[in-house]
């Protein structure tokens, strides 16, 4: 697998869009910005259709990416997707036009392995994709590439209470995993801002953090082992269910945060903990910023590690206290609701 770094022609394409926007605004400053034609490269790709070099790999009579005789794996959905007009000028000013060659929704490790074997054979770049909530563009498709979506691999395979470990597929939503282990009296710490919609696979690919990383670390610190499909389609397993894993290279931590450049994660053994029996939130006011910073340092040096700690300026503190007051009023007015 490899990713394509935007070249000079893409930078020029972006510049052309910016110039077109500026000219349009100058011609009609009080009117809605008109739509403009796509950049020349994108227009050529759209008119030409799939790259002939990838035609054999990306199309088949059955609609599958897998060629007859190559493998018995049949991905559930493979489609060729292209963007068509209209081309809003405002969109071109912000985004590069991306025409990925195909997208596949794999449902098993075997399907992912079959896809990567064929992609490697035909020299097609591969981009793994989770829930697509990341803001860095790591899951965005690239021209001529195969996007492998893992959203259908969304099963929690096992909750191992004895080893405080949960075995999960990459398409499981972070919040769903939290809820599943909470029902067993356990706790999965990593809590990215998008935990309600982001997937475990995406968390692993980006080494997602969250407020609780102050005490529990980032996603990497909750990973015990992985199942990974490499670029040639081979499947390896790293680590295991034991917290103490000292043999060999630390390949598990190498894959976490690599954003799919080293392989596609298809299964993970994640560390879970007993659910805290008591939780409390404390708000402390200080006369200035430096006293607040000193208090945080003194707190950690005392051996007390809060699950999260946030330092607010005056404006943010005022808004936060107003929100807390609103929550308290709502709970008082609705005493029978279950609050988490």
DSSP class of residue 23 equals: H
Question: Rounded CA gap, 92 and 74, in Å?
Answer: 36
Which residues touch 163 (CB under 8 Å, ≥6 apart)? 241, 242
Q: Which of 201, 147, 199 is nearest to 173 (CA)?
A: 199
CATH architecture of 156-274: 2-Layer Sandwich (3.30)
Assigned token pair, 44: 């050529």
Alpha carbons within 13 A on the beta-carbon side of 234: 4
pLDDT recorded at residue 119? 92
Residues 87 and 94: beta-carbon distance below 8 Å = no
Each residue's pLDDT expressed in tens, for the chain with a length of 340 residues: 444 334 444 445 445 555 554 554 454 444 333 333 444 544 454 455 444 444 333 333 333 343 333 333 333 333 333 333 343 443 333 344 455 678 899 999 999 999 999 999 999 999 999 998 887 777 877 778 899 999 999 999 999 999 999 999 999 999 999 999 999 999 999 989 899 999 999 999 999 988 888 888 899 999 999 999 999 999 999 998 877 776 778 899 999 999 999 999 999 999 999 998 888 888 888 888 888 889 888 988 888 888 888 888 888 888 888 888 888 888 888 776 544 4
- The helix or strand, by DSSP H or E, that contains position 187, with its residue range, turns out to be strand 186-187
Task: Compute the chain's Rg from CA coordinates.
Answer: 24
pLDDT recorded at residue 75? 38
CA 246 to the chain's CA centroid: 29
Which residues touch 222 (CB under 8 Å, ≥6 apart)? 188, 189, 190, 216, 270, 271, 272
Residues 127 and 103: beta-carbon distance below 8 Å = no
pLDDT recorded at residue 188? 95
Residue with tokens 């070099």: 53
Assigned token pair, 306: 């809060």
Question: Rounded CA gap, 74 and 273, in Å?
Answer: 38
Give the max Cα distance, the chain: 74
User: Residues in the chain, how many?
Assistant: 340
Write out the CATH class of domain 8-149. alpha beta
Domain ranges of the chain: 8-149, 156-274, 289-333
């Amino acid at each position: 697998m490899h990713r394509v770094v935007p070249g000079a022609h893409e930078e020029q394409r972006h510049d052309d869009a910016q110039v077109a926007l500026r000219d349009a605004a100058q011609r009609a400053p009080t009117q809605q910005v008109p739509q403009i034609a796509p950049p020349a490269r994108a227009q050529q790709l759209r008119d030409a259709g799939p790259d002939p070099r990838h035609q054999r790999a990306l199309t088949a009579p059955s609609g599958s990416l897998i060629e007859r005789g190559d493998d018995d794996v049949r991905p559930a959905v493979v489609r060729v997707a292209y963007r068509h007009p209209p081309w809003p000028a405002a969109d071109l000013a912000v985004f590069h036009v991306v025409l990925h060659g195909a997208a596949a929704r794999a449902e098993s490790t075997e399907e992912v392995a079959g896809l990567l074997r064929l992609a490697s054979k035909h020299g097609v770049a591969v981009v793994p994709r989770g829930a697509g909530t990341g803001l860095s563009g790591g899951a965005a498709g690239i021209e001529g590439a195969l996007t492998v979506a893992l959203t259908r691999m969304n099963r929690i395979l096992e909750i191992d209470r004895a080893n405080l470990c949960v075995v999960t597929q990459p398409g499981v939503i972070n919040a769903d995993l939290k809820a599943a282990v909470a029902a067993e009296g356990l706790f999965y710490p990593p809590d990215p801002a998008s935990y309600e919609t982001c997937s475990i696979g995406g968390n692993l690919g980006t080494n997602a953090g969250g407020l609780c990383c102050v005490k529990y670390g980032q996603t990497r610190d909750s990973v015990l082992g992985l199942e990974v499909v490499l670029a040639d389609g081979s499947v390896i397993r790293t680590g295991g269910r034991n917290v103490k894993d000292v043999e060999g290279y630390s390949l598990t931590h190498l894959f976490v945060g690599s954003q799919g450049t080293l392989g596609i994660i298809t299964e993970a053994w994640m560390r879970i903990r007993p659910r805290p029996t008591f939780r409390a939130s404390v708000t402390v006011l200080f006369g200035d910023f430096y006293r607040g910073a000193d208090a945080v340092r003194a707190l950690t040096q005392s051996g007390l590690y809060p699950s999260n700690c946030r330092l607010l300026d005056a404006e943010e503190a005022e808004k936060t206290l107003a929100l807390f007051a609103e929550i308290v009023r709502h709970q008082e007015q609705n005493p029978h609701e279950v609050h988490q």
